[in-house]
Amino acid sequence: MKPVTTNFGIGISVLPPRTSEEDAKKAIKIAFNHSESIIVEEFAEGNEYRFLVIGEETVAVCNRIPANVTGDGIHTIQDLVSFKNEDPRRGVGHVTPLKKFS
């Protein structure tokens, strides 16, 4: 469930298949706090892609991969996160192609 007019996951709720009426109402309230209209859609598990379409032409496709680290048996998870965040492509906001994560 998500607001029509927000970006970056603001106001979105992902509900399990057997959600209580109370939890559904909370999700609706959250979504309406950010927009006058909301969308209710089925969650499809799997790879996530973003398409940029201009007119009737797809001009770019981005495969969105969640932040992740792989343990090496030596470093802490925080160390591994710090190592990944040293990548110059990672930054804060939307200036860089990748975001820093914690």
By CB atoms closer than 10 A (0-12, 13-18, 19+), residue 31 is: buried
At residue 6 the predicted structure's pLDDT band, cuts being 50, 70 and 90, is confident
Q: What percent of the chain has a predicted confidence (pLDDT) above 90?
A: 68
| 32-74 residue pLDDT tens | 999 999 999 888 889 999 899 999 999 999 998 888 999 999 9
Supply the pTM of this predicted model: 0.56
Please give the Cα distance from 101 to 72 (Å, whole number).
19
pLDDT at 7: 82
